[in-house]
């Protein structure tokens, strides 16, 4: 019944019915926001990306053929929207450094002292990764993309994707280990 | 002892070839620990909880949807249907205007009325499409209010609106709605904009005739 009702919502949304679009949004808002938030590493940027993703989806909904579930389709649009804009952002900020791993953004030495004392979750460590690292890590380890697929979406070579993944995992492990050790130090001192 | 690189450990983590590192890792507690930490970290990433979008996000999305901008939330038809409807609307408006030209004494109050043109000639043109659509929405609201007032007035006086007028009004309202719908699909189409203004102009002319025929409530209808 869920599938039938969702198919009905899609059909109504394709004909331009706003209420049907709103219901589809309610059904999948969390899924879309979660993936763009993980890729963005920032609340404000994620909010913008999620808006863009939904607007893109509703503008393209006439192209949705129902070959996949609507949730899968809109999730894919969200990923593509996020990656496209992150890449454009990278170009604007000349983040070649980010993609080759030499950016200082993820260096915990540059975190504010008060923040370093916080209990840093995996989420926070993920946010601290450079955009390129975070994208490859999330796409590969959570979304299940292959290095070939990541290469196409990010415009990088397969070997670069593999290298980025290794560095991202290593950086993430260092960030998490260090922050947890600091929590222990602060907690026992 | 030389430990395998992080790249090699990651390859192994993803099920890739050991590249000769298997024996070393099997005998090295440090590397086993490193593999375990990487594996746990990946699991933690996958177990991160879903997130709720910020409150009010739908309203922001809705405001950006062209259909909502153009129509204020009205329902839409697909473009081909809307265009056909608009074409029918245009033919109807033209036909109605021609009919009134040929039979100028056929209006309900027995007086001749000027034929409405296909553009609003007696008002300055809107400065932009947004201004034009604002005019359309305002006129539409005024018309809806006027129609309700007319019905109410007719009921209170025990009078009935002439059947021909009802039919014309209903048709003209359908034309206005069809034109609006068509514009939602393509707000910048100049032909569709002309259709819409023509339909509204004709509809308003009909309302003025009816108001005069009622002879009682013009100030209520159009204040």
B5: alpha, beta or left, given left = phi > 0 and alpha = psi -120 to 50? beta
Note which residues in 53-112 of chain A have CB less than 8 A from chain B.
54-55, 58-59
Burial class (CB in 10 A: 0-12, 13-18, 19+), B116: buried
Q: For residue B161, what are the contacts with CB-CB under 8 A and spacing of at least 6?
A: B150, B151, B154, B210
pLDDT-based confidence at residue B104 (cuts at 50, 70, 90)? very low
The beta-carbon neighbor of B10 closest among A18, A126, A169 is: A169
Of A75-89, B58-72, B120-134, B136-150, the least confident: B120-134
Instruction: State ipTM.
Output: 0.79
The beta-carbon neighbor of B62 closest among A18, A26, A173 is: A18
Contacts with A170 from chain B: Cβ below 8 Å: 6
- d(C-alpha B12, C-alpha A38), whole Å: 25
The beta-carbon neighbor of B54 closest among A47, A169, A170 is: A47
> Span B94-122, mean pLDDT?
41
- The verdict on A15 touching B (C-beta cutoff 8 Å) is yes
Contacts with B69 from chain A: Cβ below 8 Å: none
From the list B217, B205, B199, B223, the residue with the least C-alpha distance to B150 is B217
- Mean confidence (pLDDT) of chain A: 82
Three-state SS at A189? coil
pLDDT-based confidence at residue B206 (cuts at 50, 70, 90)? confident
- d(C-alpha A39, C-alpha B120), whole Å: 52
Higher-confidence residue of B105 and B182: namely: B182
pLDDT-based confidence at residue B145 (cuts at 50, 70, 90)? low
Nearest CA in chain A to B6: A166
Contacts with A138 from chain B: Cβ below 8 Å: 45
pLDDT attached to residue B22: 80
- The verdict on A39 touching B (C-beta cutoff 8 Å) is no
Neighbouring C-alpha atoms within 13 Å toward the C-beta of A33: 20
Residue A186 CA, distance from chain mean position: 32
pLDDT attached to residue B77: 40
pLDDT attached to residue B25: 85
pLDDT-based confidence at residue A126 (cuts at 50, 70, 90)? very high
- The verdict on A146 touching B (C-beta cutoff 8 Å) is no
| pLDDT surpasses 50 at B165 | yes
> Span B22-34, mean pLDDT?
87
Q: What is the pLDDT of residues A28-78, one digit of tens each?
A: 999 999 999 999 999 999 999 999 999 999 999 988 988 889 999 999 999
Q: What is the pLDDT of residues B34-87, one digit of tens each?
A: 899 999 999 999 988 899 999 999 999 999 887 766 554 443 444 444 444 445
- d(C-alpha A129, C-alpha A176), whole Å: 11
* HEC string for B159-210: CCCCHHHHHHHHHHHHHHHHHHHHHHHCCCCHHHHHHHHHHHHHHHHHHHHH
For chain A, the helix, strand and coil percentages under 3-state DSSP, each to the nearest 5: 80, 0, 20
**C-beta atoms surrounding B159 within 10 Å:** 12
| pLDDT surpasses 50 at A145 | yes
CA distance, residue A22 to nearest chain B CA (Å):
7
φ and ψ of A62, to 5 deg = -65, -20
CA distance, residue A90 to nearest chain B CA (Å):
24
**Hunting for tokens 């990088």 — which residue is that?**
A156
- d(C-alpha A169, C-alpha B6), whole Å: 9
CA distance, residue A121 to nearest chain B CA (Å):
10
């Amino acid at each position: 019944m869920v599938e039938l009702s969702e198919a009905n919502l899609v059909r109504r949304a394709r004909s331009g019915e706003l209420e049907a679009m709103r219901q589809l949004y309610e059904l999948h808002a969390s899924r879309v926001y979660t993936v763009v938030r993980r890729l963005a590493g920032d609340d404000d940027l994620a909010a913008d990306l999620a808006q863009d993703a939904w607007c893109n989806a509703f503008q393209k909904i006439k192209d949705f053929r129902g070959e996949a579930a609507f949730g899968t389709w809109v999730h894919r649009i969200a990923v593509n929207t996020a990656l496209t804009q992150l890449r454009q952002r990278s170009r604007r900020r000349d983040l070649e450094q980010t993609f080759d791993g030499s950016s200082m953004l993820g260096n915990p030495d540059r975190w504010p002292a008060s923040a370093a004392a916080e209990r840093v979750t995996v989420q926070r460590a993920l946010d601290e990764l450079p955009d390129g690292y975070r994208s490859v890590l999330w796409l590969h380890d959570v979304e299940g993309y292959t290095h070939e697929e990541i290469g196409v979406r990010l415009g990088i070579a397969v070997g670069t994707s593999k290298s980025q993944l290794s560095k991202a995992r290593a950086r993430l492990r260092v960030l998490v280990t260090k922050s947890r050790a600091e929590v222990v130090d602060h907690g026992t001192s | 002892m030389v430990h395998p690189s992080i790249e090699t450990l990651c390859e192994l983590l993803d099920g890739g070839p050991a590249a000769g590192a298997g024996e070393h890792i099997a005998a090295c507690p440090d590397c086993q620990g490193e593999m375990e930490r990487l594996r746990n970290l990946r699991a933690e990433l996958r177990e991160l909880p879903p997130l709720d979008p910020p409150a009010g996000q739908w309203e922001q999305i809705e405001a950006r949807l062209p259909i909502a901008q153009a129509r204020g939330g009205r329902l839409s038809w697909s473009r081909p249907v809307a265009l056909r409807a608009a074409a029918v609307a245009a033919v109807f408006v033209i036909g109605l205007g021609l009919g009134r030209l040929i039979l100028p004494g056929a209006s309900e109050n027995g007086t001749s009325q000027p034929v409405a043109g296909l553009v609003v000639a007696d008002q300055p043109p809107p400065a932009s499409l947004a201004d034009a659509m604002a005019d359309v929405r305002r006129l539409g609201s005024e018309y809806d209010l006027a129609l309700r007032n007319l019905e109410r007035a007719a009921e209170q006086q025990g009078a009935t609106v002439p059947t021909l007028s009802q039919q014309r009004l209903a048709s003209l309202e359908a034309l206005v709605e069809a034109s609006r719908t068509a514009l939602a699909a393509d707000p910048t189409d100049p032909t569709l904009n002309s259709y819409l203004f023509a339909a509204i102009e004709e509809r308003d002319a009909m309302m003025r005739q009816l108001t005069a025929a009622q002879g009682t409530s013009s100030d209520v209808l159009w204040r």
